Amino acid sequence: MAYTSDLRIKNTLKSLHIEILNELISNGINSNLKLRIFDESNEDSRLFEDGGLTFKDPYVDLKLGSNDAGWILDDKPLVIVEGTFGTERGQFGDGQLNRFSHSAGVAMNGYIGVTFVPFRGESYSKTGTKPKDIVSNNIKLKYATIHKGFLTGAIKISEKEIGWFLVIDSYNKTQLKKIVIEAVKQKMNIKNELNLAIQEVLSNMRNSIGNKAYGENSNQIINDLIDENGNVLSKRARFYTQNYNALTTSEKRDGHGMLGKNLIEIYASDDVLTYSIFIRLRNNEVQKLKARNSKEFKYIFNHPKVAVRCFDNLVFTDEKLRSKLLNIIDTNMFQERQTLLLKEIQQAFNEGLIRVTE
């Protein structure tokens, strides 16, 4: 088996488990703490009650992402961890959101979910952005920091749900160890500092976000979504650029990331409904996606808090802009980014030049 990011995380957590047990014993605490962990990821995908590491969204009864390991006390979840070294493996942006649903499901069910990830990673690249990034003529470095949206969504879930969604730097094992040990003490009715440990993690998460809010620089956030009658439907909506091919090929990775974005938007918005506008999908394609056996599509297109709209629900005052968008419906936007057009579309939404039908 190749030494993948997944295996690296699991070996780290196995080692940490031994440290935790030793520290508990040294403090005179004899617990029945166990670590549920599998070398094969297909075991992770079973529901927790069936021996796996996956949880359902209790509001819609749909499975979310599986986790890598879980500390269990008296057969109940204590701290469940999803780990990744994605920031050290070329995930510079939205690719990090592929894993957002994993810890979200844990928190929704009232437990402590932890995503364990380097807050700043470096990886090799063909292009370096600065002279100091150049190792040699053929080797350059790029740096990735933890996604602000990931942290924002995790904080919002922690505020609104009965559980916790914590994001801990994978080079700060001490912080994760403290969370587990203090959680054991709390469950055993021993004096503990679990709340303090949780607040320290949340404070670190907020500091890592900085002063700029998530989505502030995004060209896909709509600040004023207006319907065909001129009414403001939402002060925070998002449009998505994936077309049908992007969502049904390449192992549907776009679908997995899109699930993460939708979850973040559900919790980041105070609106009753979260509007997800798929500007390159047609009605018939939306119906096909609804019918697919995919947890991502079932979640997004059937969630009671998500209002899905597509190209056929858009009303344009500028026919040229409509034609521009229609002409790129089949374009591969990984190869042809269309940045200027997306900014034009965002501005048109905010100014009411593109409206949506109910």
Tens of pLDDT along 38-77?
987 788 999 999 999 999 999 889 899 999 999 999 999 9
Which residues lie across from 355 on neighbouring strands? 315
- What distance in Å separates the CA atoms of residue 65 and residue 74, rounded to the nearest whole number? 24
User: Which of the pair, 190 or 215, is modelled with greater confidence?
Assistant: 190
How many other C-beta atoms lie within 10 A of the C-beta of residue 164? 24
pTM as predicted = 0.89
Nearest to 149 by CA among 6, 258, 28: 258
Within 13 Å of residue 237, how many CA atoms lie on the same side as its CB?
Answer: 29
Question: How confident is the model at residue 315, as a pLDDT?
Answer: 96
| Helix or strand holding residue 23 (H, E) | helix 5-26
Which residues lie across from 38 on neighbouring strands? none
Tens of pLDDT along 206-233?
999 988 777 677 889 999 999 999 999 9
- Range scoring the smallest mean pLDDT among 40-54, 126-140, 274-288: 126-140
Q: Go through the chain and tell me how many residues it has.
A: 358
Nearest to 200 by CA among 171, 169, 163, 162: 169
The answer to whether 116 and 9 have CB atoms below 8 angstroms apart is yes
Please say if the pLDDT value at position 89 is more than 60.
yes
- What distance in Å separates the CA atoms of residue 183 and residue 177, rounded to the nearest whole number? 10
Tens of pLDDT along 27-38?
999 999 999 999
Q: DSSP state, 160?
A: H
Percent with pLDDT over 70 in the chain? 91
- What distance in Å separates the CA atoms of residue 309 and residue 279, rounded to the nearest whole number? 8
- What distance in Å separates the CA atoms of residue 165 and residue 317, rounded to the nearest whole number? 43
Q: Is 333 helix (H, G, I), strand (E, B) or coil?
A: coil
Quick one: pLDDT band at residue 15, thresholds 50, 70, 90?
A: very high
